[in-house]
Amino acid sequence: MNTTWRIKALWAAGALLCLLPLAGCSVLTSYPATVEKAQNAFDRGDAAGAVALMEKLSPSDGDAALYLMEKGTFLRAAADYAAGNAAWLEALRIFREFDDRATISFRDSAAFAASLLLNDKAIPYRGTFYERVLLNTFLAANFLMQGNLENARVMVMQADQRQRAAREEYEKEITKSREETQKKNLNADEITARLRNGYDDQRAFVEKAGNIYQNAFMFYLSAIIFEMTGEVDNAYILARRVHEQNPAFLPVRADLLRYAKQLGRHDEYERWRSAFGPDVPDAIPAGQGRIVLLLACGNGPVKEEIKVFFTLPLGANRPPAHVTIAVPKYRMRPNPVASARLMIGDNPAGVTQPLMDIEATAVKELWDRALGMAFRQILRATGRVLAGEAAREKGGDVGYLATVAAGFILEQADLRSWISLPRDLQALRATAPAGEYPVRLDLLSPGGVVLGQVPVGTVAVKEGAVTFIDARTTGVRGAAGHAVVPAR
């Protein structure tokens, strides 16, 4: 090995020792295993117990926002909306602190450098774009459950801004990753294809996901909020987006007719009427109020580690290296419940329909980010090959084996994600005469068989107001809260 390569390898080894304390022990732990007990309690229907278990954990600074996101999910399921908001708002604050830094701090620089030597877990968790959109969306729902229409409006506005910026940020990341691979004489297309081969069995999820930068659930909730604040123009625009993305979603059809009628858009009203038929109502009957059921159904996917093999060029007059990198891949969790039927007294008021497939979105997001994720892994693998060669020259086979063993231990996939997210987000809209009703949810299998029931309690319906029912299911269990929110 020539002097230049030896210096690079020894520098990498020294930097590894210096950066390990900054990265923290989280680079050697599995996030899913860390929060497993809390998630298991949540799955058993013990949301309060899940919160207590999360509070016993001590996340690193880089993982604090993610722990708060999990905790907020459990608090929401326990109908503790104020505490859930506090957790989620703090997570938002942490993310904004990352975003608003004009320059990269020393700790950020060290964390990124550590990621090139250790693994991606050395980088503070900033959340995927869809997780951050959902964070604002769930905050909006929480504020609605507290009757705070103004703050709910602020949250959906922020969610829309985050969603608009996400596509541009993604395209910049892809461009930068391609430029960096070219500088290292690596084939970006080959790297992407090889990594995606490890995900090939999930191609159906990728195809099902569609445009993951358009969240129909967020659009639908936003449309309801804007209608309640008297901004029918905005509500109409958002309802059209929902229909464009999910033509089969029935509740938005009545909204489109109602908005077009209120705005005096006669041609559009007639077009909707012709498309939807005569049975879809275009107004809320006098003396009646609306019920909107928001359902977070099932458990979303969780990351696990897979290995991918690469052959890497090491430069002129040097044989290529055969390396293995560790990357995350989503594992789907079983979800027997497909939807929920709203029962008002003994009368069925409709069945929820999906608006956002979080499973498919998560898989597609990982698929899209394959190149950037693999690039850092390949840099690490190359550095470890060089360090191993330097160790063999300096310490023989023992030094080489020690270096290889250290690399094997450190090369771990970043398995961090918002694990307590549901499989999908669904909604239902209904109307009922003003009054009070016993309400429950029937949890249905894909074939329509009732697998379980969720008591909602005595629910009030008021003319001119919206009664929100906020429900979450895990397995065949569930919990629901409800609140009446008057329009402004």
- 387 and 13 in contact (C-beta within 8 Å)? yes
Q: Is the pLDDT of residue 124 over 80?
A: yes
For 199-213, 250-264, 396-410, 460-474, which range has the lowest pLDDT when averaged over its residues? 396-410
Percent of the chain with pLDDT over 90: 65
pLDDT reported for residue 280 = 97
pLDDT of residue 108: 47
Q: How confident is the model at residue 10 (pLDDT cuts 50, 70, 90)?
A: very low
Average pLDDT over residues 214-223: 96
Amino acid occupying residue 280: V
Cβ proximity of 459 and 436 under 8 Å: yes
- pLDDT at residue 431 in the model: 96
Q: Which of 33-47, 381-395, 423-437 has the lowest mean pLDDT?
A: 381-395
User: Nearest to residue 474, comparing CAs of 38, 31, 32?
Assistant: 38
Residue 444: is its pLDDT beyond 60?
yes
Q: How far apart are CA 429 and CA 254, in angstroms?
A: 9
Per-residue confidence (pLDDT) for residue 410, from 0 to 100:
60
Q: Write the burial class of residue 368 (CB in 10 Å: 0-12 exposed, 13-18 middle, 19+ buried).
A: middle
Lowest mean pLDDT across 31-40, 191-200, 258-267, 383-392 = 383-392
- pLDDT over 60 (residue 167): yes
Say whether pLDDT at 184 is over 90: no
Per-residue pLDDT, 394? 64
pLDDT at 191 over 60: yes
Please give the pLDDT value at position 384: 67
- Classify the C-alpha dihedral 19-24-30-31 as positive or negative: negative
pLDDT score for 28: 57
Residues 467 and 486: their CA atoms lie apart, in Å, by 8
Q: Is the pLDDT of residue 13 over 70?
A: no
Q: What is the pLDDT of residue 109?
A: 45
Query: Mean pLDDT in the chain?
Result: 86
End-to-end CA gap in the chain: 75
pLDDT at residue 112, rounded to an integer: 46
**Is 252's pLDDT higher than 70?**
yes
* Phi, psi (degrees; rounded to nearest 5) at 186: -105, 150
Lowest mean pLDDT among 10-14, 187-191, 278-282: 10-14
Checking if the pLDDT of 111 tops 50, the result is no
pLDDT computed for residue 408 by the predictor: 53
Provide mean pLDDT across the span 468-481: 96
Instruction: Report pLDDT digits (tens) over 334-345.
Output: 999 999 999 999
- pLDDT greater than 60 at residue 328: yes
Give the mean pLDDT of 136-141.
98
When pLDDT is averaged across residues 420-446 and rounded to a whole number, the result is: 98
Dist CA 304 CA 328 (whole Å): 6
Res 110: pLDDT: 46
In 147-289, which residue ranges form alpha helices assigned H by DSSP?
A: 149-183, 188-197, 203-209, 216-228, 232-245, 251-262, 266-276
Over 80: is that where the pLDDT of 12 sits?
A: no
Q: Which two tokens stand for residue 47?
A: 């949301």
Q: How confident is the model at residue 62 (pLDDT cuts 50, 70, 90)?
A: confident
Tell me the C-alpha distance between 241 and 219, whole Å.
7
DSSP state for residue 444 in the 8-state scheme = E
CB 388 within 8 A of CB 400: yes
Whether the per-residue pLDDT at 166 is higher than 90: the answer is: no
Paired strand residues for 343 = 348, 440
Q: Would you state the pLDDT for residue 375? A: 78
pLDDT at 350 over 90: yes
pLDDT score of 14: 47
Based on C-alpha coordinates, what's the Rg of the chain? 26
The residue with greater pLDDT, 422 or 164, is 422
pLDDT in tens, 302-323: 999 998 887 776 666 777 777 7
- Please tell me the predicted confidence (pLDDT) of residue 120: 61
Q: What is the mean pLDDT of residues 241-249?
A: 96
pLDDT at 239 over 60: yes
Confidence of residue 178 (pLDDT cuts 50, 70, 90): confident
Which of 56-60, 121-125, 130-134 is least confident?
121-125
Mean pLDDT of 277-300: 97
Better-scored residue on pLDDT, 396 or 244: 244
CB 471 within 8 A of CB 295: yes
The answer, yes or no, to whether residue 25 has pLDDT greater than 80, is: no
Rounded CA-CA distance 161/159 in Å is 5
